[in-house]
Amino acid sequence: MRIHDFRWIPYALPFHRPFPTAWGTLESREGFLVGVRDAEGRWGIGEAAPLPGFGTETTGETQRRLEEWERMLPGSEIEPFDPPGGKSAPDPAPGSFGGKLAAWARNTPAAAHALETAWLSLTAEEAGLSLAKWMHPESPDGVLVNATLAARSLAETVEQARQAVMAGFSTLKIKVGADSPEEDWARLHAVREKVGGNTALRADANGAWEVERASAMLARWRDLELEYIEQPLRADDLSGMARLKADGNVPIAADESVNSEEGARRVLDHRAADLLVLKPMVLGGVLPALRIARSALARGVRVVVTSSLEGVFGRTASLHLAAAVSGAHAEAGLGGNPPACGLATGGLLAADLLDHPPEPQSGRLALPKGAGLGLPVPGRPFD
């Protein structure tokens, strides 16, 4: 296959309200749409949404990589990817396009994510398959997703929880770590009281705590019956994470610690998490994330696919990955349903990259119909 044209444009998407994290409050989401056109005139579209706090390069570094590709990629002959069959996908061969993407992903994972998505979309479209079915033939046509409660005050958080349950969500996620331990406890306790025990409740600390504080807090939180606490400690404190996991008070999910395939292997080798949170934008694409998922599932470690608060093209690539991981979850023989994915984040944005992006219905997000990503080409400059 030949890359006939390569184009990109920047974007900025505002949030409905400032989005709090333990390392700062986000007012908007900035990134780039990337398009690759093949010799038949079809466009594959990908999205690069860098955010250093999540583990990617900076926006400037992404742009410099895109400018480099704009000079070198048009006219290139690139072999199509082979479907990643089997329970363990092999690493891409050095010198292949996949190998080059892996090398680019070490320094600019968000940019690599965009280029990989665009090319994979064309590859799956040529095969007449959705990207999910191309990655795993037993992929379902949708996945369960959690609702993210973005409010800071107790009253607003409880009201958001009530609305989410009324809308059909069975899993809720609350950000913690930006306020005091007492405020975090009060919010979690109030939400648990409001939604009852049949709703899964998970918390995300973004690495805000030290191990002694986290140990004491999670012991207090035991009766809340949280599904898990996401990244309670800094990314490199795997021994501390392993200690919290061994305590057994709240299941431990690793997020920022899983910032590469090597990072995921370290987490698994240290037995530092009960679950892995996979952000394809941070990992350089859906194929590296799928390789990590298969390695984790083979060890009995469950996987949650989440967005990086990006626009609809990035979220939809992650949705296809989540469906493929769901197929791999069943193949691995793990009991029960896969955990709900963190992909219902489009509602946090006041604007998106398409007028009618896929939206969750009753706590489930369906894949768009059609081959590739299943999304329309957004128009200029990809027309």
pLDDT tens for residues 257-267?
999 999 999 99
What pTM was estimated for this model as a whole? 0.95
Return mean pLDDT, the chain.
93
Q: Report how far residue 278's alpha carbon sits from residue 264's, in angstroms, rounded to the nearest whole number.
A: 9
Q: Report how far residue 111's alpha carbon sits from residue 28's, in angstroms, rounded to the nearest whole number.
A: 19
pLDDT tens for residues 132-155?
999 999 999 999 999 999 777 899
- Has residue 88 got a pLDDT over 70? no
**Among 32, 36, 33, which Cα is nearest to 74's?**
36
Domains of the chain plus CATH, in order, are: 3-128 (3.30.390.10), 142-366 (3.20.20.120)
Report, as residue numbers or ranges, the catalytic residues: 175, 279
Q: What is the pLDDT of residue 307?
A: 96
Instruction: Let me know how long the chain is.
Output: 383
- Has residue 96 got a pLDDT over 90? no
Q: Report how far residue 151's alpha carbon sits from residue 316's, in angstroms, rounded to the nearest whole number.
A: 25
Q: Report how far residue 57's alpha carbon sits from residue 294's, in angstroms, rounded to the nearest whole number.
A: 26
Please state the rounded mean pLDDT for residues 26-47. 95
The position carrying tokens 């056109």 is 37
pLDDT tens for residues 229-242?
999 999 999 999 99
For residue 186, give the amino acid letter. Answer: A
